[in-house]
Amino acid sequence: MSGGVDSSVAAILLKQQGYEVIGLFMRNWDTSVNGDILGNPNLGDSICPQEQDYNDALEVCKKLDIPLHRVDFVKEYWDFVFTYFLDELKKGRTPNPDIMCNKYIKFDYFIKEAKKLGADYIATGHYAKMEKGYLCRAKDLNKDQTYFLSQLSKKQLENVLFPIGDIGKSEVRKIAEEYDLVTAKKKDSTGICFIGERNFKQFLKNYLPNMPGSIINIETKEELGKHIGLMYYTIGQRRGLDVGGTEDKLFVVGKDLNKNILYVMEGEDNPYLYSDSCLIEDVNFNCELRPTSCTAKFRYRQQDYPVTLKYLDNNEILVRYEPVKAVTPGQACVLYLGDKCLGGGFIKEVRKDDKKLWYLL
């Protein structure tokens, strides 16, 4: 029970199906130590968003007549998710902490805690489905969250229920309103998993020093301005470059970590934004299927692209595709066979014409 509308309705649907439902709220971030919504450790008299989430979860559970337990995974979240997040940023990559949070917290420590409470199954408010032992896309493709579940093992997906996988977001809201839940019209959470919406630059200053450097046109080699730190930019980004009148025409196309250079180029279809293969590492499969051709997503909010797979040693795969824009080191490449989500890995190298693109780390 996260204090959001999706887990609230998941609990309702489980009760309707005859399950004995127990709520479990996870506290994964210590705002008193690590700062509030703006990265400011002085919370003043206001209640922090995480405590508000707990209060909302408590109110929902009281209305649904189910017990609510609370557990702290602050240290585990720091060790397995936030440290990874910072390490990836230091490497100039674009990490996805939500994926690691699911792997290590929600579907590991959470499961262990649920078993201590005597649970036979765990259920979450993810938009996903389990069908015949396979992880599958949700009915509402606009909300489908299988991308974020791609690092889960077959074992982790045993005895897991996704109650809202067969309904859309509008229906979820409607059910919550019918039960007059405090979460019915609550805004969906965004930002870093369990840390939430923040002034990202202000927040990161608490953990990583800013290292300003040059913004250079990759083709003309002209210096156009200064960046505030490579960690704040991702491939394909257009906004926030602060280089004057041409900003709306410039796109981030690469980084040089050693020289602390941010490379940009005009035009959203410029050739520096495109690649035709990538090497993915830390590959995880959640089933026995090992296709040589399937589809892949290189970002969450992205269409599927047809790909071919070459399996390598060291748990790596070479993924080939027709030219795709803004494939980015650190992001997840998630593999699909129809509606089945097979798993995926993290993008280690981005290539074009079988050559590693030097400006993409």
**Residues carrying an active site annotation:** 101, 193
d(CA 18, CA 282): 39
How far does the chain reach from its first CA to its final CA, in angstroms?
40
What radius of gyration do the chain's Cα atoms show? 22
What is the residue whose two structure tokens read 């996704």? 162
* Cα 40–chain centre separation: 24
Which of 66, 65, 37, 63 is closest to 51 using CA atoms? 37
Dihedral sign for Cα atoms in the order 149, 150, 152, 155: positive
d(CA 279, CA 292): 15
232 near 259, Cβ under 8 Å?
no
258 near 92, Cβ under 8 Å?
no
260 near 214, Cβ under 8 Å?
yes
Phi, psi of 332 (to 5 degrees): -85, 140
CA atoms within 13 A on the CB side of 218: 21
- DSSP SS3 for 118: coil
* Tally of CB atoms within 10 A around 338: 11
d(CA 145, CA 198): 22
The tokens describing 306, both together, are 């047809």
- Using CB atoms within 10 A of its CB, is residue 65 exposed (0-12), middle (13-18) or buried (19+)? exposed
Which of 128, 350, 182 is closest to 254 using CA atoms? 350
d(CA 32, CA 43): 8
